[in-house]
């Protein structure tokens, strides 16, 4: 795809979250910005966006739903107010938005959120453990006895898709299409609008077809539950079900794929931690929390609702604001030795799953998938290492994780 914007010249005044260098060097870029006395960077790209880097600022924005709307949470070429008059683009305005509850503001938000919570409660998620374990082992069996394997392409990218497709009642054979739509929504934001439109149309048509099929042939799954659910006394429209399914597909796949990949990347580049965890699998749950803190995959966004001053900068209505939870997780005011990855960190109140009313609904599932994926990988490959840094390919955009992660297998079981 063509790019609208070229390479970044200056991260302080021209940053771009979709520049391939951003995710590759994210922590160094943020450290340099902070060292240069710039805790909140600005760019004119995408019609104007801010990047606050302290825990205090991220926390404040996440809780201030009056000044910061969630109507769209992905910074891209189109701002809703610019296309509201064009029916082919217009999504429902705040407080509902196109993919409730993540695109919703209060008071509607909590009603939409309540509909999804039961499906992700521990009593629904915990029983999935044996199935996830089986899938992870099967993926490793498929790798055969090669000297090097790609832990992203052959492993992490498959695990969340299998679970989400099953929960929603969508065919697993469409896994590649799901991943291509995830790429479309989150990664290709620097491509011209015209190039992306057709793909969005294809995504919507796919969902419409499957929702129609669920209406005609009811079965037990989350799409079915949503079609039968009531929101404030009325049944959901199929557009709203489509919006929620879009959210679950996107939020449930890329995030956990990245979380698993980031954990394996850390282990592949840190022999001491790798050997310690392989020898002490009981430590994995605490280590996973540290991987979530130190390599939090998800940055969300907000739109400014009215002109106002924020920590010394003048924000204008319709400016974008990125909410880098990963930067909040590395704030020295919040964590001791924040840049160090301490796999047995005792106090770890990280923000990887967000802050405030939109805190992640899927955190039980994400934690389970990450724990099982790391455990099985270490059981089967007790020793492994990164092939080379250059061959690791990072995602672009607001969800950060390896998309190619070649590792050399040093021992296997």
CB of 208 to ligand HEM, least distance (A): 20
Q: How far apart are the first and last CA of the chain?
A: 42
Q: Provide, rounded to whole angstroms, the least separation between the CB of residue 352 and ligand HEM.
A: 5
CB of 172 to ligand HEM, least distance (A): 15
Token pair 């089967």: residue: 380
- The minimum distance between CB 5 and ligand HEM, in angstroms, equals 24
The answer to whether the beta carbons of residues 355 and 63 sit under 8 Å apart is: yes
Closer CB to ligand HEM, residue 106 or residue 218?
106
Which positions lie near ligand HEM, rule CB under 6 A? Answer: 62, 70, 73, 101-102, 113, 116, 164, 247-248, 251-252, 255-256, 259, 297-298, 300, 325, 352-354, 358, 360-362, 365-366
Which helix (DSSP H) or strand (DSSP E) does residue 148 occupy?
A: strand 148-150
Is the distance from CB of 348 to CB of 338 less than 8 angstroms?
Answer: no
**Distance between CA atoms of 121 and 40, rounded to whole angstroms?**
36
Q: Report the residue number, 116 or 211, with the smaller CB distance to ligand HEM.
A: 116
Contact between 297 and 329 (Cβ < 8 Å): no
Which is closer to ligand HEM, CB of 74 or CB of 387?
74
Give 23 or 255: the residue with its C-beta nearer to ligand HEM.
Answer: 255
Q: How far is the CB of 85 from ligand HEM (least distance, A)?
A: 26
Residue nearest to ligand HEM according to CB distances in the complex: 362
Q: How far is the CB of 244 from ligand HEM (least distance, A)?
A: 8
Cα–Cα dist 302/71, whole Å: 7
- Euclidean distance between CA atoms 239 and 222, whole angstroms: 15
CB nearer to ligand HEM: pick between 214 and 358: 358
* Comparison of 160 and 338: residue with beta carbon closer to ligand HEM: 160
């Amino acid at each position: 795809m063509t790019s609208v914007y070229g390479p970044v010249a200056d991260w302080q005044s021209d940053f771009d979250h979709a520049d391939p260098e951003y995710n590759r060097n994210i922590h160094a870029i943020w450290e340099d910005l902070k060292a240069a006395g710039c805790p909140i960077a600005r760019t004119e790209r995408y019609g104007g966006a801010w990047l606050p880097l302290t825990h205090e600022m991220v926390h404040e924005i996440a809780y201030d739903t009056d000044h910061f709307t969630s109507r769209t949470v992905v910074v891209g070429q189109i701002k809703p107010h610019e296309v509201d008059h064009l029916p082919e683009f217009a999504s429902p305005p705040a407080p509902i938005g196109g993919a409730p509850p993540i695109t919703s503001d209060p008071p509607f938000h909590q009603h939409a959120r309540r509909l999804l919570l039961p499906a992700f409660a521990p009593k629904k998620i915990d029983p999935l453990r044996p199935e996830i374990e089986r899938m992870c082992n099967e993926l490793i069996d498929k790798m055969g006895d090669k000297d090097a394997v790609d832990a992203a392409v052959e492993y992490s990218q498959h695990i969340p898709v299998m679970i989400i497709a099953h929960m929603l009642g969508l065919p697993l054979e469409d896994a590649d299409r799901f991943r291509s739509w995830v790429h479309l929504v989150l990664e290709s934001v620097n491509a011209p609008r015209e190039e992306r439109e057709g793909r969005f149309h294809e995504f919507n048509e796919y969902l419409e077809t499957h929702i129609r099929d669920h209406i005609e042939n009811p079965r037990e799954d989350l799409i079915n539950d949503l079609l039968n659910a009531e929101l404030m006394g009325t049944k959901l429209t199929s557009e709203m079900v489509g919006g929620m399914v879009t959210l679950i597909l996107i939020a449930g796949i890329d995030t956990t794929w990245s979380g698993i990949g980031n954990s394996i990347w850390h282990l592949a580049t840190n022999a001491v931690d790798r050997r310690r965890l392989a020898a002490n699998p009981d430590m994995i749950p605490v280590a996973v929390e540290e991987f979530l803190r130190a390599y939090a995959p998800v940055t969300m966004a907000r739109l400014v609702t009215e002109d106002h001053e924020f920590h010394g900068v003048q924000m204008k209505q319709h400016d974008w604001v990125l909410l880098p939870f990963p930067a909040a997780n590395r704030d020295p005011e919040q964590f001791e030795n924040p840049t160090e990855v301490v796999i047995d960190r005792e106090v770890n109140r990280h923000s990887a799953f967000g802050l405030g009313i939109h805190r992640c609904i899927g955190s039980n599932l994400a934690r389970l998938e990450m724990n099982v994926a790391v455990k099985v990988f270490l059981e089967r490959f007790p020793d492994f290492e990164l092939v080379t840094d250059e061959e690791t390919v990072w995602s672009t955009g607001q969800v950060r994780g390896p998309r190619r992660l070649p590792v050399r297998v040093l021992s296997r079981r």
